[in-house]
A and B are shown apart, each in its own frame.
Chain A
């Protein structure tokens, strides 16, 4: 059966199949970008980019994503370290629970957040501490909810890859546990920290589902870049949508390039 898959011919067939898959996928992405380019006229593209609505969306997206990435990393570093190094009963359950935000649809997460802010506790927070629903802090909260799980995953694999013996040696050289963490483990995790920060930041820039549920899609107020695409297409302004798509692609490419430049080959993403 399947004689063609045996021996040298099998090797050839296998090689051709895998490489064809790669080429087809590359063609698919190139095709999409080319079709975008074909659709765009240069001057309308520039004027769309320069419009105050898009500029404010760029500003809002970069600001919220940066705050969200910083908050996520501050949460993710201790959590990832705890999962990587300590063992406690029920650790597997906690570990799987933390993966939920990666798998569950962001729309569902956003809707859940919205429901939470309609409970007595949630509305008390919303009314008295910080207004999240249909406001800018809501964007940050939605982004943090979606990306912190990703940050934890990336950092956990970073901490997993650091031999605990480095900390042990630091301890015998006079460091307390926290000192060993800050003097040894964090420097060793540098590449992973940079890569995770940039990846979660880029993911936050692109976040739409949870954001639109919690913060809404009010032009010029809670309008991030993905929301701008949604609003432009909803009002049949394709030119503007394409302009924003290119801005998002540009940001993503920039993030990946920075990761490659700073972390280089030491950290594969």
Chain B
């Protein structure tokens, strides 16, 4: 268990105040917040890279506030990876192991093992500068994991990667987390990433913790305007009935809107979908469309570089958010009939009635 108590620190432009968090053993804990919220500083405090006067950090009830970074047995993956450019991939991964005074054969065995887990065995002889972003991230992870830390700290691990690489690494991170039973603290500014990966999420804004909750609870019951604004008003629908279709799929009815969602287990009370996960099209999308509907545009509002469109769909109001450059290529006006798709995998569900 990692506990942060009353931590305050001012560092240049960053200012974090009275942070209190406790992270359970084996938990995948995501710290979510906009750029400049102080997330990285907070993570660096856990890693022991900053000295602070006010507050304390505990690992398993032992005060580690004054411990040096090398005494904390943490795996730390900074943003942009910070691989050592004068070492090849193998030596980067072996870097921490060489502090253990173990034989070269043992080092090699451990590097091979960890490279196998991360699927980078074929990269071991490569120069780090010739690696792609995803490969660099895997090497940085392997380097952090090689000395078998108890805790893994990830600073925006996916933000510099292209969408496809980020998606596969997301699954990979969860798998590694389960396989190695690591307590993981993951920092991100990406809501979808947080919702998908976290056991629990802490929303931090302007250096303060605004809410700590399970992803569903945060989405359905944001605590205060700051969190609600940051989440960006998801579409939340109450469900009247649900029917198990088998194979992990359920049909839920929200008024006259029938949705297919990926879920097994208890009945669903509410579903939520973020505006950015509702696709709008002028023509009927080809092929079989799960969760495809028709609706009438009721309002169009341009906010920054996205356009928010509200629609009447089967008696419900739904909001979609599309990038301006895509909106500009379409011919969308108030009153027009459009086709929409709610991406099944992106529909979040809530079981209990609160």
Contacts and interface: CB of A to CB of B under 8 A. Distances in A.
Interface in B131-145: 143-144
A172 B70 contact: yes
Interface string A164-200: 0110111111111001000110011010000000000
A190 B99 CA distance: 22
A165 B147 contact: no
Question: Which of A169, A179, A183, A190 has most B Cβ within 10 Å?
Answer: A169
A170 B47 CA distance: 12
B246 interface: no
Nearest to A173: B96
Contacts of B346: none
Given A174-B96, A175-B99, A179-B99, A165 B70 contact: no
Contacts of A173: 70, 95-96, 99, 143-144, 147
B1 interface: no
B107 to A, nearest CB: 13
Contacts of B70: 171-176
Given A172-B70, A174-B147, A188 B78 contact: no
A172 B86 contact: no
B82 A166 contact: yes
A166 B95 CA distance: 12
Contacts of A172: 47-49, 69-70, 72, 74-76, 144
Interface in B54-102: 68-70, 72, 74-76, 78, 82, 84-86, 95-96, 99-100
A191 to B, nearest CB: 10
A43 interface: no
B73 to A, nearest CB: 8
Contact of A174 (B47, B49, B84, B100): B100
A50 to B, nearest CB: 45
B96 A168 contact: no
Nearest to A164: B49
A88 B70 CA distance: 25
Contacts of B100: 174
Contacts of A188: 84-86
A176 B67 CA distance: 12
**What band does the interface of chain A fall in when counting residues whose beta carbon is under 8 Å from B?**
10 to 19
A171 B99 CA distance: 11
Interface residues of B, number: 23
A166 B81 CA distance: 10
Contacts of B78: 165, 168-169
Given A173-B95, A174-B96, A168 B84 contact: no
Contacts of A165: 78, 82
B155 to A, nearest CB: 10
B139 to A, nearest CB: 12
Contacts of A168: 44, 47, 49, 69, 76, 78, 82
A169 B44 CA distance: 11
B64 to A, nearest CB: 13
A199 B75 CA distance: 41
B328 to A, nearest CB: 36
A245 B69 CA distance: 55
Contacts of B49: 168, 171-172
A170 B95 contact: yes
Contacts of B74: 172
B165 to A, nearest CB: 22
Contact of B84 (A166, A171, A179, A190): A166
Nearest to A188: B86
Contacts of B47: 168, 172
A187 B47 CA distance: 24
A176 B70 CA distance: 6
Contact of A171 (B69, B75, B147): B69
A179 B96 CA distance: 12
Given A168-B78, A172-B74, A184 B96 contact: no
B76 A169 contact: yes
Contacts of B72: 172
Contact of A169 (B48, B68, B82, B99): B82
A172 B155 CA distance: 14
Contacts of B84: 166, 184, 187-188
Interface of A: 163, 165-166, 168-176, 179, 183-184, 187-188, 190
25 contacts: A163-B82, A166-B82, A168-B47, A168-B78, A169-B78, A169-B82, A170-B95, A171-B68, A171-B69, A172-B47, A172-B49, A172-B69, A172-B76, A173-B70, A173-B99, A173-B143, A174-B147, A175-B99, A176-B68, A176-B70, A183-B95, A184-B84, A187-B84, A187-B86, A188-B86
Given A163-B82, A169-B78, 10 more contacts: A168-B44, A168-B76, A168-B78, A168-B82, A174-B100, A174-B147, A175-B70, A175-B99, A187-B86, A188-B84
- Top 4 nearest A-B pairs by Cβ distance? A173-B96, A174-B99, A171-B69, A172-B76
